[in-house]
Structure 1
Amino acid sequence: MTTQLTKDQVYDTVDPRDFPALLDIDRYGKRSSAFDKIIAATHDHFWDPLDKAYIDFSEPFDMEKDYLIDPDLVAGRGTAVWDKLDEAQRIKLTNLDAKWALSSILHGEQGALSLSASLCHILRDPGAQEYAANQAREEARHVTAFAQYVKVRWGKPMPIGGSLGGVLNELVASPYAWKKIVGMQLLVEGLAMGAFATFYNRANDPVLVRLCQLAMTDEAFHHKFGKIWADRTIPKLSKEEQNIVEDWAASCFQTLLFNLINPEQMKSVYALVGIDWQEAHQSLMEAITDEHRRERMREGTDIF
């Protein structure tokens, strides 16, 4: 049976429907200092996605002639499906693969925004609430920034994949703080940091490189919030409680990984270059049985 698993008062919660509990006059004087440093650092990594002094989305990039990202990052590179594509088709597939990834990141940022806001409704500690509100503000600028990038490069983002959508919906709707923190601050934010670092190092579009650089300055602090929870909570869990957290986290991770690499989740991408997703899936399965290709693909796509 799932419970709150509260082991430290800074992560104590109220029922999301019990707003009067947050009006308790004694609560205001019990603000924890656990998050003061990361709250104070907010000003040090401020940036405005609508200010060209920080990032200029109007810089051009030829989407038909140039690879937006290193094609080695495409899961299908080196497979039979990839081998039969001409150069123009490979560029198109690579850039659509990037669109899929960046659309997923955009949806993830919206999930992080909504989740951070939801934490404000349940965290009892005023300091923890202030941190969550700060993160919501930062996630909001990520939504603005990635939405703008996708808009200038492709127009509309791609719809969210079923796997990622299911995870985000569970995290945002969950009444349990530990699920929100483990799922978002540790797993999803960790995934985002890996993606940003990968694109920062291997994207060919200077605007995307700059965007990922700016986003990483925020995400490191978001991940820190989860680490504080882990340091204060995990050592105090019973074996049964630890199993609950670990089993759920493993299941969540597998779902996120499925969204990242499974061709079925990317049907729309393959369709745009005339490839049946089942053919792509079969080709990928054949490729990863080859030790050399499996090693190269692991190096190129493992952002965890």
Structure 2
Amino acid sequence: MSSFDFYVSPVPEEIWGVPMAGNTRFSWDYDNGRDQLLNLYQKGKDKQWDARSRIDWGLEVDPDDVAGLPEEFNPLSGSRIWDRMNRKERTAFTRHQGSWLFSQFLHGEQGALNVSARIVASAPDMDSKFYAATQTMDEARHVELFSRFLREKSGMYYPVNQDLAKLLAESLEDSRWDLPYLGMQVLIEGLALAAFGLFRDLSTNPLVKQLLAYVMQDEARHVAFGRLALKD
């Protein structure tokens, strides 16, 4: 069964093509590198994990409330709209809200996968290429993880938020080599790390807490990479 069968509204089946600008840069200096970045690269190798075996996918998730968040976290809680809703309507809203949010996590991770691959090509120094290669593997694992979570535990996908899509496109379209670092490593990854931490702390579901904890280990390195690479 195709992923398109799980979307709550139709999405284009053709590939979203974002034109990329800039050069693929080769460096012939294979020996010199910044110790901090090379240490981060080593951590990236050491901290690899398998989403299929490391996550306990047997843990149950309520599709009507995938994260098990307190009602106070609901953006409509306390409003007149929420007060007028009956239980069935509140349950439906909570289910769709959770699916929308985790869908954005998924789409953002695919964006990070593409941007980190772009950084491998465009970074002018070898130590940045080394680390970005480990991040590309991280992002592939995150796409695998969130896609499986939505398919098996939620049962529905939402299309990418247009503001997120715009930020992803801008991170790829600029010809300067350092803009993908700023857009992805600092802005998007920084926001994701904060969001994942909030949901990990507030969620009452063991599976959600587990998968977000592992993803956050990777994201913390990604943000550190962006800050180190842009420092100079």
Q: TM range, normalised to the smaller chain?
A: 0.7 to 0.9
The verdict on how the C-alpha distance between 1:191 and 1:125 changes in structure 2, with shifts beyond 3 A counting, is: same
Which structure has more relative contact order (CA 8 Å, sep 6+)? It is 2
Counterpart code for 2:43: A
Deviation at 1:154, TM superposition (A): 2.4
Gaps of 5+ in 2: 1-20
Structure with bigger gyration radius: 1
CA contact (8 A) 2:196 2:212 kept: yes
CA distance in 2, matches of 1:220, 1:118: 20
How many pairs are equivalent?
212
Q: How far off is 1:125 after superposition?
A: 0.9
Task: Identify the residue that residue 242 of structure 1 maps to in structure 2.
Answer: none
Alpha-carbon displacement from aligned partner over 1:125-167 (angstroms, at most 9, x marks no partner): 1111011111111011000001111111223421001111111
Cα distance in 1 for partners of 2:93, 2:156 equals: 17
- Equivalent residue, structure 2, for 1:55: 55
> Which sections of structure 1, spanning at least 5 residues, go unmatched?
1-14, 234-304
* Map of 2:16 onto structure 1: none
The alignment's TM-score, normalised by the length of structure 2, stands at: 0.83
| 1:149-298 aligned within 5 A | 149-230=149-230, 232-233=231-232
Take 1:221 and 1:66, find their aligned partners in 2: how far apart are those partners?
27
Q: Match for residue 86 of structure 1?
A: 86
C-alpha separation between the residues in 2 aligned to 1:226 and 1:59? 34
Alpha-carbon contact 1:196-1:216 (below 8 Å) kept:
yes
Partners of 2:76 and 2:82 within 8 A in 1: yes
Q: TM-score scaled by structure 1?
A: 0.64
Whole-Å Cα distance in 2 between the matches of residues 60 and 180 of structure 1?
A: 37
* Of 218-227 and 77-86, the range deviating more from structure 2: 77-86
Quote the Cα distance in structure 2 between the aligned partners of 1:212 and 1:104. Answer: 14
1:38 is aligned to 40
Percent identical pairs in the alignment equals 28
State the SS of the aligned residue for 1:177.
coil
Deviations 1:161-202 (A, max 9, x none): 111111111112322233211211111111111111111111
**In the TM superposition, what whole-angstrom CA distance separates every residue of 1:272-296 from its partner, at most 9, and x where no partner exists?**
xxxxxxxxxxxxxxxxxxxxxxxxx
* Cα deviation 1:32-76 (Å, max 9, x = unaligned): 43411111112443221111xx11223222334887322222222
Q: Is the partner of 2:178 in helix, strand or coil?
A: helix
CA separation in 1, counterparts of 2:134 and 2:65? 41
